[in-house]
Structure 1
Amino acid sequence: MSRIVQCDFVIVGGGTAGCVLASRLSENGRHRVILVESGRDTPPDRVEPAILDSYPRVAYFNVRNVWADLRVSLQPVPHNDPGKRQLRRYEQARLMGGGSSLNDMQANRGTPDDYDDWARNGATGWSWEEVLPFFRKAERDVDFDGPLHGQSGPIPIRRIHSDCWPEFARAAARAFSETGFKALQDQNGEFEDGYFPVAINNIYDRRVSTAIGYLGNSVRQRPNLEIWPNATVTRLVTEGARIVGVEVETGQGPARIMAGETIVSAGALHSPAILQRAGIGPARTLRALGIEVIADRAGVGRNLQEHPAISISAHINHDARLARTNQRRHIHVAARYSSGTAGGLPSDMYLVAMSKTGWHPVGEQIGSLMTWINKAHSRGFVAIESPDPSVEPRVEFGFLSDYRDVERLKVGMRLLARLYDTPAMKAVANDPFPTSYSERIRDLGIVSHKNYVLTRILATALDGPAWLRRTLLRHVVTEDDPVERMMADDELLEAFVREKAHGVWHASGTCKIGSADDPEAVVDPSGRVMGVDGLRVCDASVMPFTPRANTNLPTIMIAERMCALILQQNEKR
């Protein structure tokens, strides 16, 4: 028989938002809070070196840290030929801190217009003026002060000075300048096109996730907070149209947590799946699976968004590489720019320079310029295919299904080619080649002795004669046509971006905030699921539109603001 536990709030998912919720909702001592995380815990004094590492890709490709069976379709799937759906891995964190424990640590807010756009489209109370205090509350900016920046929050924000950059990053900055980009110092305070040192949630060259920043030792010792790692929520417990708790599988057996409020914070792919299995979602789809419908909400799982990306990489001269004895951080400089295409918006594109593309010897000598669409028009969906919680949902991102996105990635590729053609980049980078984030690259990203030996041999050859390097890059390292051929053939360029666009782990939008008269909206401005009592959603899934930013900092802000709204509403009861 399941043990039964009572609490005021149960939080489903200890990811970026879940850790913030657990900390803030238990802060005043009045509410009993239980945080349930399906992955393992990362207590502050026992965080693994690979997670703390400023170079994140070692931890990202460790199967222990992600949902190992999750597969997604990135490109559109023909409705008349669903067999052409190509499934790929899409790393979603499964450990305390979620994406904030594995991502690239870019602390990017986006632009004020992102949030004003939310408010204009039904997310009342989420304008820039209203969310700024919660960005400030979350952060401790060690470089900038004033009305735009916080000084006492749990997440440190800093930038690495250009004196400490590897030469590849400095060359990229010079190339930006030579191409007409304006130099900015503070990407979170200067909201215009230009290049800048990347803001990161990292201090002393170590990651600070929400698990570290919000769930410190003193927080964990609160008598009103329980943290349940390695515990998987199997279903939401319903009483009519009210959610009264969750059922959980733990190492000690099944349990039922009865709660005044249940808050789902499982991310943009798993949160809508949890709702759908509980009977909250598009009624026709749920009934076809034999699920009793408690709330017919067509928007659950719709509006899936990402930042489609594409890259051009190059072999880096030995003296321009990221020095092993210096620092681990591999992204130092980035840029915002406007595509200028039909349907484009100001700062609708983003670009980063990576001075290292892998943990292995080849990754250490290959650099990359990667660009993505900051404000995509294309939309996808998440839909369960079974009521069984162990079966991953169907995920179709539909990248570039809107032709305006195709045009913008083509603009981005042409810009990358121009940057590599500047004197600054020619001095440090050799033989640029188009790159794609293929399954083969993912396999090489897994730390193993075999991968080290293979890449050591290839790296030795790449540092050899120029003719040999060129041959290996074009016939072994890359699978695609040369850059110069793509730049001369628009059809070839379009085929490349359509086939090879990949994501940057910024899934969002599948349980969007909106007004009651919006059929696609799932939650109200305080996260309450429409048509259901006792249930909220709080994570990147509630974003009406993905901001022009990496999603980590905006997700932290969302959790901070929703905590304030939840506590305010509870005080009035």
Structure 2
Amino acid sequence: MTQVYGTVIVGGGSAGSVLANRLSARGTHDVLLLEAGIDTPPGHEPPELLDSYAGRLFFNPHFDWPDLRVTTQAPRAGEEAASRPPLRKYTQARVLGGGSAINGQLFNRGAPTDYREWEARGATGWSWDDVLPYFRKVECDLDCDGPLHGKHGRIPVSRVPREHWTGLSSAFAGACKEAGYAYLPDQNGEFVEGYFPVAFNNQAERRVSAAMGYLDADVRRRTNLKIMTGTHVTRLLFEGTRCVGVKAVANGQELEFRGREVILSCGAIHTPAHLLRAGIGPVEHLQGMGIPVLAASEGVGRGLMDHPSIGLSSFCRPGARMNGLTRRHFQVALRYSSGLPGVPAGDMFCAALSKSAWHAVGQRIASMLLFVNKTYSETGHVRLASRDPMAEPEVAFNLLSDPRDLRRLMDGFRKAAALQASGPLRAVTDKPFPSAFSERVRNISQITVKNRILTSIGAALMDGPAPLRHYMIDHHVVDGFTFEQLMRDDEALEAFVRKEAIGVWHASCSCRMGGEDDPLAVVDPHGRVKGVQALRVVDASIFPVVPCANTNFPTLMAAEKIADTLLASPEIS
């Protein structure tokens, strides 16, 4: 028998968790939340998800889409097809709570200039003054007060106290101070340059995901809220151009759910795939896939963005490693300005990681993770590879498609090298080398007994005499480029950045919101999909441009804001 709800939410990630909570708060409105991944019920959360250290979650098939592969780099002009960028595994969460359940827990908002740009691009009502109240509504900041902070939200925000920092983090802070940067006690205060303790969605060394914060035991007891996990939505149902429900598969059984409105909250990769399979998207692509066009929308799947990133690693001496006072593998970060003409301040970000992976070798490798906070590469795309709803789409991020991003990562590597050469960092590290997220690294990052044994042996050798350590790094860790080579050869540095730049799992902007006169806008500023009725998108895909921030906090903000819009509508009484 077909079940009918007021609102059907597809995707129980960060946005879906917020929407399910807020829309079901009125007991007269029935809400169904559908999630393909596993549940995280209160008191029975998987221990890996509660851990402040997230390294055991990356590429973990229990919590992500195991078959998702993407290309990250943009192909260069005239490049032969055989030498095009390779497919890489890309983590997207498949678990209640979504990205907030498996990410690094960084909780930052971005810059006021980001949201002024959103409004300038047609997202009316999304300026900084419009979104700040919703950032405050999300958070319960345990450390900072004042008009920029919330104290009563469902997501606690905390920072690792200085006395718990690792030796590596303290040295990084010392290097930043020597370089002339100011200390900022509050990353989410005034958006200016400086180094700061990183804000996390974490309380008492436990992650608090969107599901943990918004779908607690009291919320789950609401009789008008139903949460179904392990449920894969295969099709959007339409009567004419009105979305009336979805079809899904759960435990091998095909089910149908009807709703007065359907909300897609599946993230910037899977949300556009749902729209395309429904016939909403670029006409040429739909026709090429043999899909009847329901609504022509040239922007669906276009403009996919992430923050381009590279790293500089080094051997971390024993006294500077993780100290048992915190499980969070980084505590301090730097926001700085590249100084490029026309680029806003604070356009670059660098975090100091006290370990680079869960295994024994990773515990001995420190890294400076550098990414372009304000990226201009926005030519990525999501397209269907198959009409099969269980098949992953074709995803290309086209990172570094804007030459300013390439230039800033090259300059950023030199800046990281200068920090590395400072007295504080030189005292606690050895043998710097360029980070390479190679297939070898991904393979050894799989959590297996074999990898545990191999890395334990490798770690013991690295802790031995310096010549042996250097040999290990040169022959078993470094992948093609040496630190010395990149410091003396600009062409080699460019080649390294082009080859090794990856995203940081901030997929966004593939179903952008904008005005009626914008042919590439997929949704209006209320998340309503143009060309059809009773269908909205609420997730990071609607961002007009990716902000200078990890995307989880802005996604929660957007869901809170659109939830308020929905609660003010006559459909939800």
Q: Work out whether the TM-score is over 0.5.
A: yes
Offset, 1:190: 2.0
Offset, 1:550: 0.4
- Structure-to-structure mapping, 1:51-62, within 5 angstroms: 51-62=49-60
How well do the aligned residues superpose, as a CA RMSD in angstroms?
1.3
Q: Is the 8 A contact 1:134 1:557 kept in 2?
A: yes
- Partners of 2:191 and 2:163 lie apart in 1 by 24
Offset, 1:480: 3.0
Q: Is the 8 A contact 2:205 2:327 kept in 1?
A: yes
- Partners of 1:216 and 1:111 lie apart in 2 by 31
- Partners of 2:326 and 2:491 lie apart in 1 by 41
Deviations 1:308-353 (A, max 9, x none): 1000001111111112x33211010011111122453211111100
Offset, 1:300: 0.4
SS in 2 for 1:269: helix
Deviations 1:419-474 (A, max 9, x none): 00000101101011001222222222221111111011111111111111111111
Segment of structure 1 superposing worse, 477-486 or 148-157 = 477-486
* One-letter amino acid matched to 2:376: H
Question: Percent identity over the alignment?
Answer: 49
Offset, 1:77: 3.3
SS in 2 for 1:432: strand
- What's 2:556 paired with? 556
Offset, 1:252: 6.3
- What's 1:15 paired with? 13
Deviations 1:390-420 (A, max 9, x none): 1111000001121111101001100110000
Are residue 320 (structure 1) and residue 320 (structure 2) matched?
Answer: yes
- What's 2:482 paired with? 482
* One-letter amino acid matched to 2:198: V
**Closer, same or farther in 2 for the Cα pair 1:79/1:467, shift >3 Å?**
closer
Are residue 25 (structure 1) and residue 23 (structure 2) matched?
Answer: yes
- What's 1:437 paired with? 437
SS in 2 for 1:74: strand
- What's 2:340 paired with? 341
Q: Is the 8 A contact 1:343 1:404 kept in 2?
A: no
- What's 1:68 paired with? 66
SS in 1 for 2:43: helix
- What's 1:77 paired with? 75
- Partners of 2:63 and 2:572 lie apart in 1 by 40
* One-letter amino acid matched to 1:332: Q
- What's 2:183 paired with? 183
- What's 1:116 paired with? 116
**Closer, same or farther in 2 for the Cα pair 1:572/1:200, shift >3 Å?**
closer
Deviations 1:146-190 (A, max 9, x none): 211111111000111111101000000000111111110111112
Q: Is the 8 A contact 1:342 1:404 kept in 2?
A: no
* One-letter amino acid matched to 1:96: L
SS in 1 for 2:22: helix
- What's 1:501 paired with? 501
**Closer, same or farther in 2 for the Cα pair 1:572/1:38, shift >3 Å?**
closer
- Partners of 1:22 and 1:469 lie apart in 2 by 52
* One-letter amino acid matched to 2:464: G
Consecutive unaligned residues in structure 1, runs of 5 or more: none
- Partners of 2:136 and 2:393 lie apart in 1 by 35
- Structure-to-structure mapping, 1:84-483, within 5 angstroms: 84-251=84-251, 253-323=253-323, 325-379=324-378, 380-483=380-483
Q: Is the 8 A contact 2:527 2:538 kept in 1?
A: yes
Q: Is the 8 A contact 1:341 1:407 kept in 2?
A: no
* One-letter amino acid matched to 1:242: R
- Partners of 1:390 and 1:343 lie apart in 2 by 43
- Partners of 1:499 and 1:341 lie apart in 2 by 23
Deviations 1:341-396 (A, max 9, x none): 24532111111000011111111111000100011111200011221111111000
- Partners of 1:441 and 1:570 lie apart in 2 by 53
Deviations 1:505-552 (A, max 9, x none): 000000011001111111000000011101000000000011100001
- What's 2:39 paired with? 41
Q: Is the 8 A contact 1:353 1:368 kept in 2?
A: yes
Offset, 1:284: 1.2
SS in 2 for 1:397: strand
SS in 1 for 2:126: coil
- Partners of 1:73 and 1:570 lie apart in 2 by 44
Q: Is the 8 A contact 2:10 2:34 kept in 1?
A: yes
- Partners of 1:239 and 1:370 lie apart in 2 by 49
Offset, 1:553: 0.5
- Partners of 1:344 and 1:451 lie apart in 2 by 43
Deviations 1:24-78 (A, max 9, x none): 1101212100000011111111101111000001022321111111100011236
- Partners of 2:54 and 2:313 lie apart in 1 by 19
Offset, 1:571: 5.8
Deviations 1:200-248 (A, max 9, x none): 0000100000010000001011000000100000000011111111001
Segment of structure 1 superposing worse, 77-86 or 127-136 = 77-86
Q: Is the 8 A contact 2:306 2:397 kept in 1?
A: yes
- Partners of 1:164 and 1:552 lie apart in 2 by 25
* One-letter amino acid matched to 1:67: W
* One-letter amino acid matched to 1:361: A
Q: Is the 8 A contact 1:434 1:480 kept in 2?
A: no
Segment of structure 1 superposing worse, 440-449 or 11-20 = 440-449
Q: Is the 8 A contact 1:435 1:480 kept in 2?
A: no
SS in 1 for 2:91: coil
Q: Is the 8 A contact 1:273 1:382 kept in 2?
A: yes
Offset, 1:113: 1.1
* One-letter amino acid matched to 1:44: P
**Closer, same or farther in 2 for the Cα pair 1:428/1:23, shift >3 Å?**
same
Offset, 1:93: 0.5
Offset, 1:267: 0.3
- What's 1:510 paired with? 510
* One-letter amino acid matched to 1:188: N
- Partners of 1:155 and 1:340 lie apart in 2 by 35
- Partners of 2:458 and 2:252 lie apart in 1 by 48
SS in 1 for 2:183: coil
- Partners of 1:262 and 1:68 lie apart in 2 by 26
Q: Is the 8 A contact 2:566 2:572 kept in 1?
A: no
- Partners of 2:447 and 2:481 lie apart in 1 by 29
Deviations 1:119-166 (A, max 9, x none): 111000101101111111111001112211111111000111111101
* One-letter amino acid matched to 2:57: A
Offset, 1:79: 7.8
- Partners of 1:561 and 1:30 lie apart in 2 by 21
Q: Is the 8 A contact 2:160 2:326 kept in 1?
A: no
Segment of structure 1 superposing worse, 529-538 or 57-66 = 57-66
* One-letter amino acid matched to 2:11: G
Segment of structure 1 superposing worse, 59-68 or 263-272 = 59-68
- Partners of 2:318 and 2:437 lie apart in 1 by 24
- Partners of 1:338 and 1:14 lie apart in 2 by 36
Q: Is the 8 A contact 2:118 2:126 kept in 1?
A: yes
SS in 2 for 1:527: coil
- What's 2:529 paired with? 529
Q: Is the 8 A contact 1:372 1:409 kept in 2?
A: yes
* One-letter amino acid matched to 1:71: R
SS in 1 for 2:568: helix
Task: Give every structure 1 segment of 4 or more consecutive aligned residues whose post-TM-superposition deviation is greater than 6 Å.
Answer: none
* One-letter amino acid matched to 2:558: I
